[in-house]
Amino acid sequence: MTEKETLFHEAKQFITACYHELNKPDIIEERLKEIKSEINRYGYYEHTYEELAYGARVAWRNSNRCIGRLFWRSLHVFDARHLATEQGIYEALLNHITYATNEGKIRPAITIFKPQIKQEPQVRIWNHQLIRYAGYETENGVTGDPASLSLTRACQEMGWKGKGSRFDVLPLVIQVQQRPPKWFEIPEELVLEVPIRHPEYDWFEDLNIKWYAVPIISDMCLEIGGIHYTASPFNGWYMETEIGARNLADTFRYNLLPEVAKRMGLEISRNASLWKDKALVELNVAVLHSYKQDGVSIVDHHTAAEQFKQFEQQERDSGRKVTGDWTWLIPPLSPATTHIFHQTYENRILKPNYFYQDRPYE
């Protein structure tokens, strides 16, 4: 099949499914005629806002690794396909951060920029997440987030200067077509953060750790009906284990378990004391306590699993088979205490969906 035939084939599958689910079967034929001639003329076609919003929401519903899919219908969709300058895109990203943060009552949203045209990306955001901490190589180890080392280096090469602290928010790095990328600071007042403290251990705040409120994934590609939206940042709220069992706990991230265990007076020289497990639980208790006390949306892994169980039932009631990636759906803390651990999921990849794409730097 030629490129145009392949594209029309993808479009036909999407448009048919879309308008059947939206209860508008009669417009499918007419719409497919329009798209066919658009593809023949321009080599691509444009989605209506309704198709775009439906595609982004169903892509979330099809995200096999996501435990938070119960709320897939409530995704707020910003259409930013008309923006062509780095400045305009920067302002749309600030708008997304503000809307999503909502002073802590987080609203799931996605902002969709101009899609790839004939294999040429129009917009790329170099950040993995819009808000994330820098990582610096120093003579005595890494300061900040080791996961950000390469992007931090790229930003410094573009002239960005970080303060060198453990929690420097990286700038937004926006690339339009093949032009050199431009970086922009996020105004501090837009970045909501939560200092981590513990409900019983007063010494916990002396660790001086915090985390940001809103996770906004900005490096994945949203594919809808053969169209690739290479810049489509989306946010939800955190599940506490992402912060307390991974970002702050992994030895190759902030590696805080030994410090927490020492301050708890645990015997860290003997595995069988289960000091890592005890420190892990208290770190996650602290994350939940801090976010809740500050009125910032967060979900614990037990509630998230129950919500996912509701999602499974809802999908069955809608006549759809649930697909999932068990290895990611089970939480990293006490996985066997959730129903997910005790069942299996078919990891079939459906479209629309969110996909990894090559990093534009390194």
Ligand X SMILES: N/C(=N/c1cccc(CO[C@@H]2CCNC2)c1)c1cccs1
What is the set of active-site residues?
Answer: 66, 69, 237, 242
Q: Which does 63 bind (CB under 5 to 8 A by kind): ligand HEM, ligand X, none?
A: ligand HEM
Closest CB to ligand X among residues 205, 250: 250
β-strand pairing of 76-80 with 109-113:
parallel
Q: Which two tokens stand for residue 312?
A: 């499974």
Beta carbon of residue 90, minimum distance to ligand HEM (angstroms, whole number): 21
Q: Which does 299 bind (CB under 5 to 8 A by kind): ligand HEM, ligand X, none?
A: ligand HEM
The whole-angstrom separation of Cα 241 and Cα 131 is 18
Q: Which does 215 bind (CB under 5 to 8 A by kind): ligand HEM, ligand X, none?
A: ligand X
Query: Among residue numbers 240 through 279, which ones bind ligand X (CB under 6 A)?
Result: 242
Query: Among residue numbers 180 through 219, which ones bind ligand X (CB under 6 A)?
Result: 215, 217
Positions that interact with ligand HEM (CB under 6 A): 60, 63, 65-68, 71, 75, 108, 110, 234, 236-237, 239, 242, 299, 304, 328, 354
Task: Label residues 287-320 b or e (16+ Cβ within 10 Å = b).
Answer: bbbbbeeeebbbbbbeebbeebeebbebbeeeee
Q: Which does 60 bind (CB under 5 to 8 A by kind): ligand HEM, ligand X, none?
A: ligand HEM
Closest by CA to 108, choosing from 79, 145, 78, 139, is: 78
* Owner of token pair 């917009």: 123
Closest CB to ligand HEM among residues 198, 301: 301
Q: Tell whether 155 is in a known binding site.
A: no
Closest CB to ligand HEM among residues 35, 93: 93
Beta carbon of residue 336, minimum distance to ligand X (angstroms, whole number): 21
The whole-angstrom separation of Cα 220 and Cα 215 is 13
Residue positions forming the annotated binding site for heme: 66
| Residues near ligand X (CB under 6 A) | 215, 217, 234-236, 238-239, 242
